Structure 1
């Protein structure tokens, strides 16, 4: 099944573009959500994970998650994370590959669960929802890390998984196109815009679109065709970048740009073709300038204000982090109040609500771990940071280029969007693989 899809890339891209159109119809989202989730789980179950179907289909689900939320087609809000956990668990127990054993990530999961003991929610609130909202992402990271830890993955399988990730993003981009009103009706300013993000959270949408643009650039730089036509690949990359900028959410786009620069730098060192640096810089600069100037034109110059930290009037904002810095400071104060075990999972939001802060939900997983889990959370975070770094020392530059990019996507994403979606946890886990060059 995987080979059939990857042998017919352009056809499956077209199918997902059509799915994006169908999602605008009222009957389609819920039906599609149930069918696609069941189909993904069944495909892994009946494949026995002989060719890393669990990895590749999990990548599809991670790319699908935001689209399902956007069209209200997810059976549960955290369906993407739960489904990824199920798929990778099936891959562990059914696959022919012997799982590499490590205590690090089971210990990480147990440390997370300790925080539940101290969870207290106000009357009328659901403790289950508080725990699920805050721990489903970290828990999915732990399960994914157990699956991928030193797992031998072929480069071909990485390319296949990244293509599968892209497919639902084509559907999402199409849906956004049909749901975006005329630009004359949109009040572009100095904040993220729901109208250009399919009516859903711009931060999450920009994160997925940013990574999708990175993947297309990755395919092009390594001379792997996405559609079979280089010009078409370039047009798709330009359009994805344009749609990502239109969300006016900076975190996901800036993270993708930085990660691609790191990948390109390490890849050029691997190829030892230093003359290419100037060539790539010129082509990339012209590409970015063209997309930026066009976006600036259609937004009346507001995209320039957004990325330079100015409001709609062009006045420099006092806090270019959109309140995240103040929230981060508040979370650190919560840590100093209860440094050992933290204030409990999910309690940070209710603590700030009680203090009169209506925007108390954390955007930073680093600060959330420290505030809600205390020194235990700090220890868990330290583990997460250093385990992949030790792994990178054993790699060549091309392997480092790929895995460090995944690692950086995890780190940047959890610092601007916490772990709202499955994406950062999955990226972290991929940084742990043993990447092989052998191709069948």
Structure 2
């Protein structure tokens, strides 16, 4: 098992290097991933279909950002659409739970915004592109949740799914080290750093790296049966954390910390006193290592990262707006809701309005305000379904160790990065899996008469 795990890690380090150095490779890699996972889903035995579908989706979610930054996909939103396609394959083979009907209602509530958008969006705008951009994420969430709701899966299988989520993030981290090996040479202030993010959006990169931090932290605690694996997992955690920190995009890193705290709280509460001592010892070592990563990050950024997290500019002066303009966007979208409380302004309507009034396109960073402004009263219903129904499910089924971590990731991410990537929708769906206990094999001694 150690050898297989190490091989997968080394393979994805190699893939990251190839993505950087070979121009044609990203396209070949993208199509290879799609074909490979479609084949795996189709040929796998029925008992393994759920795991194969989830691994396929998880891999695409983890790879989405690097596919975007290398222009590997067919189009910008390709990964979201293929996640939906993989899930539809899963529904064909495994069906959906009859208790997941609130998420059918959720999907239906998204439809009127398309009609309103068709009426309101300017003639010169591309209706299909605008609507697809803002609704592909919510639809990905709805379809993924319909499939995952109450699906039975073992903890070992879920850890495999999380590993498939993290493997392409190893490739992303490798790519970033090649793209900007020296952080000191690309410092430009305390704002989000595109050069440290592979020339791509720091928000999306940091969010994805934050997921990698979480997965390798989980592996460190739950999936490191040998000292070798423990060392490998903590090194990967450190490398990914470093690259996440130096993007200067705080949202992804802070979200990862919230996820880790939620996860540790759950496993600590479910263990006996001896296991609690083991967890505390491992946590102490991880905290020391994390502090070392922060010191290295601070050194490499010449102290600018400390100022960034203290909400200071390059001179050390306190910034007035800790949200980097997000509060203004949030209040503007709430005004859209108050102006059109019943049907909303339609999908992508607020972006159109900002383009008309400000003369430039500014996409929202907050999915909550966008749902309210663009869907009106249906947005309120959508939010109630998304927040309340998982808590109702949790009250009846407390088997999922990652429930609060997944839900925290979804809620935190949609508040700083909306649903630009597939990750928040898919991770939300993982919270509603039914983790079954693995049965231990019984070894009975034969009684000799």
Tell me which interval the TM-score lies in, with the shorter structure as reference length.
Answer: over 0.9
Matched, 1:42 2:44: no
SS in structure 2 of the partner of residue 393 of structure 1: helix
SS in structure 2 of the partner of residue 271 of structure 1: coil
CA distance in 2, matches of 1:56, 1:49: 15
CA distance in 2, matches of 1:183, 1:410: 30
CA distance in 2, matches of 1:368, 1:6: 45
Query: 109, 114, 117: which is aligned to 2:115?
Result: 117
Distance 1:425 1:225, change over 3 A: farther
CA contact (8 A) 1:197 1:247 kept: yes
Structure 2 counterparts to residues 7-406 of structure 1, below 5 A: 8-24=4-20, 25-47=22-44, 49-51=46-48, 52=50, 53-95=52-94, 99-101=96-98, 102-119=100-117, 120-180=120-180, 182-224=182-224, 228-273=228-273, 275=277, 279=281, 282-356=284-358, 358=360, 360-396=362-398, 399-406=399-406
SS in structure 2 of the partner of residue 268 of structure 1: helix
Task: Tell me which moved more, 327-336 or 275-284.
Answer: 275-284
SS in structure 1 of the partner of residue 107 of structure 2: helix
Distance 1:49 1:321, change over 3 A: farther
SS in structure 2 of the partner of residue 435 of structure 1: strand
Q: Aligned residue for 1:424?
A: 424
Q: What is the total number of aligned residue pairs between the two structures?
A: 432
Q: Describe the superposition over 1:173-210 as per-residue Cα deviations: whole angstroms up to 9, x where unpaired.
A: 11111111533431242211111111111111111111
| Ranges in structure 2 where 5+ consecutive residues have no aligned partner | 441-449
Distance 1:230 1:164, change over 3 A: same
SS in structure 2 of the partner of residue 316 of structure 1: coil
The higher radius of gyration belongs to 2
CA distance in 1, matches of 2:167, 2:300: 27
| Displacement of 1:48 | 5.2
Q: Aligned residue for 1:438?
A: 438
CA distance in 2, matches of 1:235, 1:367: 38
| Displacement of 1:381 | 1.0
CA distance in 2, matches of 1:168, 1:160: 14
CA contact (8 A) 1:61 1:165 kept: yes
CA contact (8 A) 2:210 2:255 kept: yes
Q: Aligned residue for 2:447?
A: none
TM-score normalised by L of structure 2: 0.92
Q: Describe the superposition over 1:263-310 as per-residue Cα deviations: whole angstroms up to 9, x where unpaired.
A: 112211111435567545533432222111110011010000111111
Task: Tell me which moved more, 338-347 or 86-95.
Answer: 86-95
CA contact (8 A) 1:225 1:233 kept: no
CA contact (8 A) 1:154 1:439 kept: no
| Ranges in structure 1 where 5+ consecutive residues have no aligned partner | none
Distance 1:226 1:61, change over 3 A: farther
Distance 1:332 1:215, change over 3 A: same
SS in structure 1 of the partner of residue 189 of structure 2: coil
CA distance in 1, matches of 2:226, 2:355: 47
Distance 1:61 1:48, change over 3 A: farther
Distance 1:140 1:312, change over 3 A: same
CA distance in 2, matches of 1:71, 1:322: 27
| Displacement of 1:334 | 0.6
CA contact (8 A) 1:181 1:195 kept: no
Task: Tell me which moved more, 295-304 or 260-269.
Answer: 260-269
Backbone CA RMSD of aligned residues: 2.0
Q: Describe the superposition over 1:233-275 as per-residue Cα deviations: whole angstroms up to 9, x where unpaired.
A: 2111111111110111111110110111121122111114355
Distance 1:226 1:174, change over 3 A: farther
CA contact (8 A) 2:344 2:373 kept: yes
SS in structure 1 of the partner of residue 314 of structure 2: coil
Distance 1:265 1:187, change over 3 A: same
CA distance in 2, matches of 1:8, 1:277: 25
